[in-house]
Chain A
Amino acid sequence: MFDFSIVTQAIHTALLSIMPEGLAIFLECVVVGVCLLLMYTVIAIVMIFMERKVCAAFQCRLGPVRVGPWGTLQVICDVFKMLTKEIITIRHADRFLYNLAPYIVILASVLAFSCLPINRGMEVLDFNVGVFFTMAASSIGVVGILLAGWSSNNKYSLIGAMRSGAQMISYELSIGLSILTIVVLTDTMQLSEIVERQADGWFIFKGHIPAIIAFIIYLIAGNAEVNRGPFDLPEAESELTAGYHTEYSGMHFGLFYVAEFVNLFIIAGLAATIFLGGWMPLHIPGLDAFNTVMDYIPGFVWFFAKAFFVVWLLMWIKWTFPRLRVDQILTLEWKYLVPIGLANLLLMVIVVVFKLHF
């Protein structure tokens, strides 16, 4: 398995040879930041395109086909359009908060995104409480949504924001519980370390029953966390026109739109990292030839394949189910997911204590 840290180390040494360490680190930070943002944009574009094609396929139609080969340039067009669209200033809105909100949302999203370990040695933010940090960073997003709803001076926005507040805070609990289940199994919170421990088998296999339950709970709660159907109440189109971003136009709306899709990717990427072995290739004990072949596939390919598979799964769910009502969302969380999550955590503890895992 190729270790990307060789490359970064080499660059670091090369830079140190021509400049002082402080400057070198600063330069590296800038370069990494730019790369991160670039990747963020690319992922956003890919995700939006995928969403449009996948939903079209579920709905027995074609989706974008006319711009570029198979419609691949469609989202690029949207980007140009968004960039040139007027940004409307709303009278009687809280101007400062109104303009700030989309940036908070995108900031939270970028922060969480930078925690994802894409390949061995290709982690941007990686430290011993990585899981905590990711969750904390991603939950800043709800502040942005609340601000957007509050400052827009629009009743629909306000209702959307309130809904999203209730929903996201509730579902963070379930996400936490299901991740905690795996933390019990791994006894580490560092994301890169979690991946390394899956070298001999992904946690979803190692932890068998409790891990699978945790995975399902995570998918449901993760879907709710990013406000996607069937949990898309905050922007429920048929009820609240566009929910918390009703009043946003142009690129401000574009930021919300992009953040929504990248958040989905983050949720999927985290699922891939924690449950499906991240960039670890698929190894079947006993089949050495197969395992060697799998090892030739680079780690980031594994990571993206797994993440996009989870994304596809979530899209399948989104495009099949009707939307829940606000009280049902809370019922689902507090009456079903949280008790199951807690019982599952207990089960995992038993599994770990009695060494029942693989």
Chain B
Amino acid sequence: MWKRNTSYNMTIREKITAWEPAAEWSAEGDGMLTVPVETFHDLAVRLKREGFDFLRSLTGMDWGEGRFGAVYHIESTATGENIVLRVFTPAPDKCGLPSVGDVWKGALLNEREAYDYFGIQFLNHPDMRRLYLRDDWVGHPLRKDYDPALNPLRMNNEVSQDSTPHFELMPDGSLIRKREVIFDEGEYVINVGPQHPATHGVLRFRVSLEGEIIRKLDVHCGYIHRGIEKMCESLTYPQTLALTDRLDYLGASQNRHALCMCIEKGLGLEVSRRVQYIRTIMDELQRIDSHLLFFSCLCMDMGALTAFFYGFRDREKVLDILEQTTGGRLIQNYNVIGGVQADIHPDFVRRVKEFIAYMRPTLREYHEIFTGNVIARQRLVGTGVLTREDAISFGATGGTGRASGWACDVRKRHPYAMYGEVDFDEVLFTEGDCYARYMVRMREIEQSLRIIEQLIDNIPEGEYRTKTKPVIRIPEGTYYSAVEGSRGEFGVFIESRGDKSPYRMKFRSTGLPLVSCLETIARGAKIADLIAIGGTLDYVVPDIDR
């Protein structure tokens, strides 16, 4: 599937080379274009005009010897073409890249992340605060020369700043730092989270209110930033697998699938069809599990506590199936490089079929108790509208994007595993409101059941695990693989230098774009709507913070 993209790349590659003769092509791994920093912003604007409106991933990098920069994965939603760009900072001692937040809005938070990790300052970025770490953190942790001793555990309370720095380039080439105000003194700012029942974990918002109406919203991430990407740089490839389960624990299976796919792509390893079948079924079971939890939590947030219990009751049935085969309820540890950890349990097929037979009528019950309810409708329909343009610009994939009418399903865009061969519909809505986001997920449960139904009876014989070398080394180059996680595109980017551990491993978070579009959606809504919006965006906080 990525071969096809490579052929497409040729055309856009040629175009870029024509615009920018200085661009260099490097062919290792997936291949990428290195473009000069001076004209990068113009190039981005041009690309956007050319139809490249979806920034899949932005990865800050430290290539050693003081060379910093960023890697951009850009896709055209119209044609499905992909291009990978690499930009270096101007000089080893100067860290400045032009911000492309005005081209792709999704870049804003990602650039803050790169600033936090590497200290790369993005020029003309309106809000250059740290994204994850405390403001008084010393140094930038993902730099190769970072010393952890600089930052002992600080137990003093963090002071919330009401203004933010912002960098501008002066004509003489120096950077100046300005401050911009986020909240005025007169504003009624309330603090939602990190411990708040509706933030689904430890996300924190500062919300400026006028009565019950939200005027401004400022997202604070990082309360569960665990530094997984840095940890991966010192782990062997099999060891990194275990951490992906804990990123988005409701998409544990898919996350691990993405990383396995990426490593297998690097190794040139083909897995058997049996494995592909098992992985697909597991991914879909996990998706059902996640969507049931989404339903439960949304109901709980909206105050319909009983529906929460119904969702959880049925979720236990999925968990039992998963546990019987994988040995874990939530964190399954099932996919491994070259296959899966163990063959499916003898009861697996029977139980899955029983579950499908049980789930369909139960879904009707959900619709009766919640979907049809006039209160739920009143609260969901028309609130928190995200337009298609915004969804693409922010890169809000998954159910959120599809509710806005953007066909962003990775299973259809870049089919992997068995998804190219099964018959299922991509659920699309055009309203982009909370109700559409909710309905997308409910319909997706039905589609997942349909996919499983097609696969469960014909799992082919074969080995469930291809033997790999005891020490896994990926050839030099960069690799990117994506799967449709439970809540959007989950991508893995690996830059390998041929060692047994990755040089840089970046996970394209599914939640970060969702959080970045929250401000746009929630402005002007009521505080109760914020809860509904947060619930229907369906982010998982450890996946945002990584």
- Selected A-B contacts with CB under 8 Å, 26 pairs: A60-B309, A159-B209, A159-B212, A159-B527, A229-B303, A230-B375, A236-B528, A238-B301, A238-B531, A239-B528, A319-B305, A320-B304, A320-B369, A321-B375, A322-B299, A322-B304, A322-B373, A322-B375, A322-B376, A323-B303, A323-B304, A323-B375, A324-B378, A325-B379, A328-B375, A328-B379
* Minimal beta-carbon separation of A328 from chain B (angstroms): 6
In the complex where A230-B303, A321-B304 touch, is A239 in contact with B309 (Cβ < 8 A)? Answer: no
User: A61 to B309, alpha carbons, bound, how many Å?
Assistant: 9
Please pick, from B305, B379, B526, the residue contacting A59 in the complex, using a CB distance under 8 A. Answer: B305
Digit string of B187-200 for contact with A (CB within 8 Å is 1, else 0)? 01011000011100
Q: Are A238 and B198 in contact (CB under 8 A)?
A: yes
Contacts of B299 in A (CB 8 A): 322
Contacts of A58 in B (CB 8 A): 306
* Minimal beta-carbon separation of B536 from chain A (angstroms): 13
Q: Which residue of A lies closest to B304 (CB)?
A: A322
CB of B310 within 8 Å of the partner chain: yes
CB of A155 within 8 Å of the partner chain: yes
In the complex where A59-B309, A320-B304, A322-B302 touch, is A155 in contact with B531 (Cβ < 8 A)? Answer: no
In the complex where A239-B528, A239-B531, A322-B373 touch, is A60 in contact with B188 (Cβ < 8 A)? Answer: no
Q: Which residue of B lies closest to A327 (CB)?
A: B526
Looking at A60, A163, A323, which has the most chain B CB atoms within 10 Å of its CB?
A323
Contacts of A233 in B (CB 8 A): 528
Digit string of A303-323 for contact with B (CB within 8 Å is 1, else 0)? 000000000000000011111
* Minimal beta-carbon separation of B533 from chain A (angstroms): 12
Contacts of B302 in A (CB 8 A): 238, 322-323
Contacts of A244 in B (CB 8 A): none
CB of A126 within 8 Å of the partner chain: no
* Minimal beta-carbon separation of A235 from chain B (angstroms): 11
Contacts of B370 in A (CB 8 A): 322
Q: Which residue of A lies closest to B189 (CB)?
A: A155
CB of B289 within 8 Å of the partner chain: no
Please pick, from B212, B373, B528, the residue contacting A321 in the complex, using a CB distance under 8 A. Answer: B373
User: A324 to B303, alpha carbons, bound, how many Å?
Assistant: 8
Digit string of A38-71 for contact with B (CB within 8 Å is 1, else 0)? 0000000000000000010011110000000000
Top-3 shortest CB links A-B: A323-B303, A59-B309, A322-B304
CB of A13 within 8 Å of the partner chain: no
Give me 6 other A-B pairs in contact (C-beta within 8 A), A322-B303, A324-B375 excluded.
Answer: A159-B527, A238-B301, A320-B369, A321-B304, A323-B303, A325-B379
The interface size of chain B toward A, counting residues with CB under 8 Å, comes to: 32
Digit string of A56-91 for contact with B (CB within 8 Å is 1, else 0)? 001111000000000000000000000000000000
Question: Restricting to B150-202, which residues have a CB under 8 Å from any CB of A?
Answer: 188, 190-191, 196-198
CB of B456 within 8 Å of the partner chain: no
User: A156 to B193, alpha carbons, bound, how many Å?
Assistant: 12
User: A232 to B191, alpha carbons, bound, how many Å?
Assistant: 21
CB of B300 within 8 Å of the partner chain: yes
* Minimal beta-carbon separation of A249 from chain B (angstroms): 16
In the complex where A156-B190, A159-B212 touch, is A326 in contact with B303 (Cβ < 8 A)? Answer: no
CB of A291 within 8 Å of the partner chain: no
CB of A3 within 8 Å of the partner chain: no
Q: Are A319 and B306 in contact (CB under 8 A)?
A: yes
CB of B313 within 8 Å of the partner chain: yes
Q: Are B369 and A324 in contact (CB under 8 A)?
A: no
Contacts of B538 in A (CB 8 A): none
Q: Which residue of A lies closest to B301 (CB)?
A: A238
Residues of B within 8 A of A (CB): 188, 190-191, 196-198, 209, 212, 299-307, 309-310, 313, 369-370, 373, 375-376, 378-379, 526-529, 531
Q: Which residue of B lies closest to A56 (CB)?
A: B309
User: A3 to B221, alpha carbons, bound, how many Å?
Assistant: 68
CB of A241 within 8 Å of the partner chain: yes
CB of A187 within 8 Å of the partner chain: no
CB of A237 within 8 Å of the partner chain: yes
* Minimal beta-carbon separation of A187 from chain B (angstroms): 37
* Minimal beta-carbon separation of B376 from chain A (angstroms): 5
Contacts of A321 in B (CB 8 A): 303-304, 373, 375
Q: Are A155 and B190 in contact (CB under 8 A)?
A: yes
* Minimal beta-carbon separation of A91 from chain B (angstroms): 15
Contacts of B309 in A (CB 8 A): 59-61
Question: Restricting to A203-241, which residues have a CB under 8 Å from any CB of B?
Answer: 229-230, 232-233, 236-239, 241
Please pick, from B197, B209, B310, B373, the residue contacting A238 in the complex, using a CB distance under 8 A. Answer: B197
In the complex where A324-B379, A325-B526 touch, is A241 in contact with B305 (Cβ < 8 A)? Answer: no
User: A326 to B198, alpha carbons, bound, how many Å?
Assistant: 17
Q: Are A320 and B188 in contact (CB under 8 A)?
A: no
User: A230 to B307, alpha carbons, bound, how many Å?
Assistant: 14
User: A326 to B303, alpha carbons, bound, how many Å?
Assistant: 13
Q: Which residue of B lies closest to A320 (CB)?
A: B306
* Minimal beta-carbon separation of B209 from chain A (angstroms): 8
Contacts of B191 in A (CB 8 A): 155
User: A232 to B379, alpha carbons, bound, how many Å?
Assistant: 15
User: A60 to B526, alpha carbons, bound, how many Å?
Assistant: 33
In the complex where A320-B369, A322-B379 touch, is A241 in contact with B196 (Cβ < 8 A)? Answer: yes
* Minimal beta-carbon separation of B92 from chain A (angstroms): 48
User: A244 to B188, alpha carbons, bound, how many Å?
Assistant: 17
* Minimal beta-carbon separation of B525 from chain A (angstroms): 10
Q: Which residue of B lies closest to A163 (CB)?
A: B212
Looking at A322, A326, A328, which has the most chain B CB atoms within 10 Å of its CB?
A322
* Minimal beta-carbon separation of A333 from chain B (angstroms): 14
Q: Which residue of B lies closest to A323 (CB)?
A: B303
* Minimal beta-carbon separation of B377 from chain A (angstroms): 10
Q: Are A326 and B369 in contact (CB under 8 A)?
A: no
Contacts of A320 in B (CB 8 A): 304, 306, 369
Contacts of B212 in A (CB 8 A): 159, 163, 326-327
* Minimal beta-carbon separation of B439 from chain A (angstroms): 16
In the complex where A321-B304, A324-B375, A326-B212 touch, is A155 in contact with B197 (Cβ < 8 A)? Answer: no
Digit string of A180-196 for contact with B (CB within 8 Å is 1, else 0)? 00000000000000000
User: A61 to B212, alpha carbons, bound, how many Å?
Assistant: 36
Q: Are A328 and B188 in contact (CB under 8 A)?
A: no
* Minimal beta-carbon separation of B501 from chain A (angstroms): 42
Contacts of A232 in B (CB 8 A): 303
Contacts of A59 in B (CB 8 A): 305-306, 309-310
In the complex where A155-B190, A325-B529 touch, is A236 in contact with B303 (Cβ < 8 A)? Answer: yes
* Minimal beta-carbon separation of A119 from chain B (angstroms): 35
Question: Restricting to A144-161, which residues have a CB under 8 Å from any CB of B?
Answer: 155-156, 159
Contacts of A328 in B (CB 8 A): 375, 378-379
Q: Which residue of A lies closest to B302 (CB)?
A: A322
User: A156 to B370, alpha carbons, bound, how many Å?
Assistant: 27
* Minimal beta-carbon separation of A63 from chain B (angstroms): 12
Q: Which residue of A lies closest to B307 (CB)?
A: A322
Looking at B197, B209, B306, B526, which has the most chain A CB atoms within 10 Å of its CB?
B306
User: A46 to B527, alpha carbons, bound, how many Å?
Assistant: 35
Q: Which residue of B lies closest to A231 (CB)?
A: B303
Question: Restricting to A324-349, which residues have a CB under 8 Å from any CB of B?
Answer: 324-328
User: A241 to B191, alpha carbons, bound, how many Å?
Assistant: 11
Q: Are A155 and B303 in contact (CB under 8 A)?
A: no
User: A324 to B313, alpha carbons, bound, how many Å?
Assistant: 25
